[in-house]
A and B are shown apart, each in its own frame.
Chain A
């Protein structure tokens, strides 16, 4: 069972308290009616499905209830970072540097 750091509670807690919520940084278009069918399809369904560091969302469901973002390696399951939803997308090269 993973230990996950909630950036809002600032605590590292068991995975049981959290739910996974899909890939991160997929913004709903501001004006959906103006986007093409292909763009809307991509927003709904197309995901990176990476083997390796993955930007994804979690929710501290049985805690503060907040959604937050994370970078987790899908091979090792190791979290490189968790961060608040409005924080900028962290640069991967820096994260990898740090995790070494």
Chain B
């Protein structure tokens, strides 16, 4: 091991060495190390290149807020993840780690040219640099930006892992298992509450893991953590580690992402990689602590420049000294302790630079005892070193005067700009924040949910204060749940309380305009960018954020928000609370798509509805198409047939003899009750009173705006019973609409509505021989034209099954639709198919159904209509019961726009050459020679090749179409203009002769 590992120190297991690779190079660490701690133990700070400028970067933190040390990790075939936080990912034998955003290598990256061109990439560069000349955008700027943009590379293979999803109900959810969270959990659990405690780290303890010298109730901090966790488990507390609370939603629902396998060398194949928990808690305690802020000065992003608290964590938790010679620069007392710990572990502290002129005298005494040089009232104005910091430029500050610079050599620079309460989750709840002048930060104010914030999250500092606050909050939530709770009082020895001040960018004697003083490391936003945004007119902090992208990276401004605010506030000349804070959004840390997806992937991504006859279609080679959630047989190709040939054959066979079609997906609603006919009269445009039981009618459904919503054949089975059919996609919508009117407008009507779509299998037989095939199977029904005319319905038995038999046609041929109980669907289909063989019966799919209906000019709602089409526009005025006092849509149809002349109307189109098939959706113009943009007067809604018509046919919605019969219109296409003639919509058997038996 290298000299940076302190033997016997930290919580890593020094007896369990682990080997992984970084850019192909073998690296040794210990069990318990993160990638970052293991690299630092080997003296490696350079871990990545920045997003915009490709500047060399190292880990700046030791936690999930890390903006810089993002790496690609490979865990075996298909298991590649970009942007893994090196400061979070635990190492295991064989883990492959690669640096990102560099070419050809991390230490020499040609993209770093961007750094020299930084003037180009200043605030708002997306909006201005690349706007001129316009012709450069496609060819030059966009490819350049796309190549340079983005962090890491997306995985290319399907994700072989699986992800789980769970619900959890708990009395108390405590987020964060640091001192506040542990004390809160203990108090609430001792009071008898059911408690869940979560923490994103592999183990509980939080900041206590970095403070081993603290003594809690005379017990060393780490022992206290172990003892407490043991007691919690004994009390039945669910303790979840490696579990991040990613979002806090309404009514105390919290999303948790639990990582289960990423830390294991050979995970069990049955174990999901991650598990998403949706937790509903009666009470929530947010004990997420505080995040350390960087200081903003030129060169504050060089590898080796790191947060002081993180350096302390690397030392105490991982046994790693982050350097041999450190300079501390701080505005908060906490960094002094990091310096003391490092000094005691053998790192030379070249100086403690404190921006404050009079730091705490106890700290000065401690530093002096260790022989550390103290530079109070100083500023840092720059750093040097290409791939690692090698010196720091320090100047004294007197009032507003920055004095003579001094260069101090070092191999790491540890900074602290104070601490920001971690209130991201609190902000998700729309809880409000209030600026605290003394602490120079936002603290929680009004709560919008049943929650408490404990510890550093509400601005407290020091272990004792935080423990006691956690206990108080644990007692508070237990009491609100009706428990008797008592908060313990903790006494902590060797505590490290402290205070600090907050800064905008540090003062400098150099040209501030040239300073590369980073505020947002991940998005490469500097102090200068923020000031530029304000100069260029951005006033709201939300505008400044978007213009500069400050706080918009995946770390959601965890480190940059307050520094950015301080600078914007200074530039605007407005105090911080008046400037306000931008919105934190979930997730708290980047979360995999897999975790959100859970089980909903592959065949489970979406429900596939199958009809009772679907299996027959599959066995007989059907090609499917999705129709709403159904999969429907589209066509049945025979050997060597393409779609066109198959559809053409199916159409011919049906018109020549008989075709069989699975219509089971049709929506079906049973409308029953004494007032059923009155209800139907009110819902549908048609008159129903005089429709005799046993007869059927085409029904048209409008919205109250007068536009077509749905249609279908409706049979009256008895005075008080209708069998309503709807379009396949409209079934649920129509029933919902019927229920709405029935329940809320006409609650006095005595009617029941029942969806029966899946209770019936529906088989359609069409063609001149349809009756011959069907008749032998029908019992109890006279099938003659007189007894069962076109548009009638009867209850009978077909093939031994109880049936509802309709004589209706959606093809223009003699047609029957047999409804039998779903379980009998396939059996009856096979009987009919077998019997139909002597008539060359042909199974056909939805495409042939579409062609056959279009040849007859029958519309498909949603294809030939689009929600702005009236019955008159669609040529369906005949379906309106004009004598009825009211129906849904009647008043709407009288609206001025709906009765106006020249509306788009459904007409037929025949291309002039008789060969060209139009493109569905193509736009129609009257004059193809007019200048662009042309006036479009309609569009093609349906277009097919028709064997019956011997040519392509089409329908279209065309302005004033009914008055343009015989006129020529034009359809401009990318390569040519197509001429077509306006016709009626019936292309085959206009007299309806073929409907007769």
Contacts and interface: CB of A to CB of B under 8 A. Distances in A.
Name the interface size band of chain A.
20 to 34
B895 A37 contact: yes
A27 to B, nearest CB: 8
A95 interface: no
Nearest to B746: A28
A17 interface: no
Greatest chain B CB density within 10 A among A3, A28, A76 is at: A28
A40 B253 contact: no
A41 B890 CA distance: 13
Interface string A20-35: 0100000111011101
B250 A77 contact: yes
A79 B736 CA distance: 23
Contacts of A59: 736, 739-740
B891 A33 contact: yes
A67 B890 CA distance: 24
B880 interface: no
Interface in B726-740: 736, 739-740
B895 A67 contact: no
Interface in B881-911: 885-886, 890-892, 894-896
Contact of A32 (B249, B251, B747, B891): B891
Contact of A44 (B705, B743, B747): B705
Contacts of B251: 1-3
Contacts, number: 56
A32 to B, nearest CB: 4
B739 A35 contact: no
B231 to A, nearest CB: 33
A61 to B, nearest CB: 8
A33 B894 CA distance: 9
Interface in A65-82: 65-67, 76-77
B886 A32 contact: yes
A21 B278 contact: no
B430 A76 contact: yes
A87 interface: no
B744 interface: yes
B171 interface: no
A66 B739 CA distance: 8
A19 B733 CA distance: 12
B747 A86 contact: yes
Contacts of A37: 894-896
Contacts of A61: 736
Nearest to A33: B891
Given A1-B249, A40-B895, A85 B743 contact: yes
B702 to A, nearest CB: 12
A3 B249 CA distance: 11
A69 to B, nearest CB: 9
B260 interface: no
Given A40-B892, A76-B448, A85-B744, A33 B886 contact: yes
Given A33-B885, A33-B891, A59-B736, A1 B250 contact: yes
Nearest to A19: B736
A65 B739 contact: yes
B757 to A, nearest CB: 16
Contacts of B886: 31-33
A44 B892 contact: yes
B745 interface: yes
21 contacts: A1-B278, A2-B251, A19-B736, A21-B740, A31-B886, A32-B890, A37-B894, A40-B892, A43-B704, A44-B704, A57-B744, A59-B736, A65-B739, A66-B743, A67-B739, A67-B744, A76-B430, A76-B448, A77-B250, A85-B744, A85-B747
Given A59-B740, A65-B739, 5 more contacts: A1-B250, A37-B896, A43-B704, A67-B744, A85-B747
Interface of A: 1-3, 19, 21, 27-29, 31-33, 35, 37, 40-41, 43-44, 57, 59, 61, 65-67, 76-77, 85-86
